Amino acid sequence: MIEVFVDSLNSSTFFLKQRRLAQLAAHLVVALIALVVVGGATRVMEAGLACPDWPLCFGSFLPGHQMNLKVFLEWFHRLDAFLIGIFLTVQFGATFLWRHEFPSWVPKLSFLFVLLVAFQGLLGALTVWDLLPSSVVVSHLALGLTLVALMSGFTQRLLSPYGFVAPLWWRIFGSGALLAVFGQCLLGGRMATTWAAKRCLAQGQACQWLSLHHGTAIFVTGFVLLFVFISLYVGGWPRSQWPFLVSISGILIIQIFLGLLTVRVGLDQPLITVLHQLAAALLIAFLSALISRRPQYKERTSSLLVTQPHLEPCHG
């Protein structure tokens, strides 16, 4: 009886640690999405060099009389990145202390997050030191979206660490949809950092980038919606993920609308552009979460149960 009680206590303690870790990871997903969006707002408002030095801003942690909207955006972007780095370090420390209780990939991936956010800070510094070169800014965006995707998948795996492997077609198709959206985001980032869309609309120059972005958007939209349709059509466990699938479809429709509206207003409404970037980050997070989910054991137990009538002949 005592051994059963101790095992039960240990099990409940493990699940409590797992839940706490998953909650921290979920909050970090939100913080990372905010980091990408605030970074986008900083670019849209042309505030990337509002703080001329790094890591301080005008030589201090909190600028005084220099503070305005542009300085605040750049300063807050750095503050968010700093806090994320702190919490990622805390997450790694917790997984390292509990490394014997979790699968080996948990502390390893937590350590990778710390390395990636440190490299992300270095890229952020280079954007200031090198006066916003397009290649560095796009790399900064790419790493930010990578962190969003990895942390979103990490959260889902913590919420359901045990279960069956999802169908192969699901993982391949879902990963393809995620990569397609990711590539579209980077193409949009490249177009934005070279001001190609604005030059096209205002001067008729560099319009090939805007045309390419529109053309690939049609392909990416069709690919993601096909993944959603097939998942709902085949039924079973893929169809049971309908809340994620519906959310992805809704965000994708909003994303298309915001993209068209952004061009319609001539890129003169920063809020619309920022919402466009927010929808892109949310798509990355939802797709990564979806393909990281696993069918749980209880979802298949019905097929493994043996009824009493089938047992009786065995005893005979």
DSSP string, the chain: -HHHHHHHHHHHHHHHHHHHHHHHHHHHHHHHHHHHHHHHHHHHTT-TTSS-SSSSBTTBSS-STT--HHHHHHHHHHHHHHHHHHHHHHHHHHHHHTTTTS-THHHHHHHHHHHHHHHHHHHHHHHHHTT--HHHHHHHHHHHHHHHHHHHHHHHHHHS-SSPPPPHHHHHHHHHHHHHHHHHHHHHHHHHHTTHHHHHHHHS-SHHHHHHHHHHHHHHHHHHHHHHHHHHHH-HHHHHTHHHHHHHHHHHHHHHHHHHHHHHTTT--HHHHHHHHHHHHHHHHHHHHHHH----GGGTHHHH---HHHHHHHH-
Per-residue pLDDT of the chain (316 residues; tens, 9 = 90+): 444 333 444 456 767 888 889 999 999 999 999 999 998 888 888 788 888 888 888 888 888 888 888 899 899 999 999 999 999 999 999 999 988 888 889 999 999 999 999 999 898 888 888 777 888 888 889 999 999 999 999 999 888 766 678 888 999 999 999 999 999 999 888 888 777 777 787 777 778 888 888 889 999 999 999 999 999 999 888 999 999 999 999 999 999 999 888 888 767 788 888 899 999 999 999 999 999 988 875 444 333 333 333 333 333 3
Adjacent-strand bridge partners of 105:
none
Q: Which helix (H) or strand (E) holds 276?
A: helix 270-292
Q: Is 114 in a helix, a strand, or coil?
A: helix
Q: Is 57 in a helix, a strand, or coil?
A: strand
Q: Where are the beta strands (DSSP E) in 133-273?
A: none
Quick one: pLDDT at residue 209?
A: 81
Alpha carbon dihedral 297, 300, 303, 308, in 10-degree steps, equals: 50
Q: 269: alpha, beta or left, given left = phi > 0 and alpha = psi -120 to 50?
A: beta
User: What gap in Å lies between CA 169 and CA 237, rounded to an integer?
Assistant: 13
Q: Which helix (H) or strand (E) holds 251?
A: helix 242-264
Q: Is 166 in a helix, a strand, or coil?
A: coil
Quick one: pLDDT at residue 12?
A: 66
By CB neighbour count within 10 A (0-12 exposed, 13-18 middle, 19+ buried), where does 206 fall? middle
Domain ranges of the chain: 1-162, 164-295
Instruction: Give pTM, 2 decimals.
Output: 0.86
Q: Are residues 29 and 284 in contact, defined by beta-carbon separation less than 8 angstroms?
A: no
Quick one: pLDDT at residue 4?
A: 38
